[in-house]
Structure 1
Amino acid sequence: MPRTEAPHYNALIRRGIDDRELYRRALTRVREPGLQALLAENLRTLELLIGDLQVQVHAMGRTPAQHGTLAGAIRSALAELTAGMSANRDAAWVHCLARNECSLLQQFEDQMAHASAESARVLGIQLSRLHSIHRDMHCLAGTTHG
């Protein structure tokens, strides 16, 4: 796999870490036990995705990203503020997670469109994981998904 793809992978890792932190925050704030279980499962999926991408970057001889972004930290803080003021906190978290997950999914799809064949294969595996989270969150949010 080309070393030149490491920065792209690291961007995906950072965005994945942002979403993982948002899931962690939501998990401690939602009340419904079934929702907590689903969020915990999605959190584990994100952790696997991040770990797999970090292994790929390391295999390229590069240092994998270990932290999210400032924008992600701000989104997470705003989500907590918004959900905290909502009459239905669980629903507010679900909608927020669904929106953020859509953005991560789009970033993966965009990267796959420009990746080498080997990178596209690796990203395709991760993309299937993201599609699973996508279906879960949009089903809960009652929104359409593609």
Structure 2
Amino acid sequence: MSHLDQTLFNALIRRGIDDRGLHRRALERVRDPALQILLFENLETLDSLIGDLQAQVRADGGTPAERGTLAGSLRTLAADVSTRFAGHRDAAWVQCLARHECGLLHSFERRVQRTGRRTEAGLNRQLDRLYGMHRDMHCLAGTTHG
């Protein structure tokens, strides 16, 4: 893995950690048991995705990112504040998570296009996981109005 690939992987790891933090906050705040189960499953997917990417960076002799970004922390705080005042908190969290999950998915898609063939297979496996989350969240967001 080239230095550029490691940099790209670490950017994805940090973005995944940011989204995982947002999902954790949402899981603490939502009330619907079915939504809690979905968020827990999404957290497991994100944990696995982050762990796999970190392992790939380590396997190629690099140092993987272990923390998210300041911007991600601020997004989580802003989401917490904005959903707190929503009429339907669970629906507001779903809408927020769907937007952020879409950004994570697009980040992965862009990175797949920018990396070499060797790393593309690993990222494509991660993309499959994200597409599953994408379908779930956007299906739910489409049927949930705040």
> In structure 1, what is the Cα distance between the partners aligned to 2:22 and 2:10?
18
The number of equivalent residue pairs is 143
CA apart distance, 1:132: 0.4
Would you identify which runs of 4 or more consecutive aligned residues in structure 1 move more than 6 Å? none
> In structure 2, what is the Cα distance between the partners aligned to 1:4 and 1:107?
15
**Unaligned stretches of 5+ residues in structure 2:** none
TM-score between both structures, scaled by the size of structure 1: 0.96
Find the counterpart in structure 2 of residue 29 from structure 1. Answer: 29
Partner AA of 1:62 in structure 2: G
Find the counterpart in structure 2 of residue 85 from structure 1. Answer: 85
**Unaligned stretches of 5+ residues in structure 1:** none
Matched, 1:122 2:122: yes
Partner of 2:5, secondary structure, is helix
1:101-112 alignment to 2 at 5 Å?
101-112=101-112
Matched, 1:98 2:103: no
Q: Say what the alpha-carbon RMSD is for the aligned residues.
A: 0.9
What percent of counterpart residues are identical?
Answer: 57
CA apart distance, 1:3: 4.0
CA apart distance, 1:118: 1.5
CA apart distance, 1:4: 3.2
TM-score between both structures, scaled by the size of structure 2: 0.96
Matched, 1:9 2:23: no
Paired residues of 1:3 and 1:61 also in contact (CA < 8 A): no
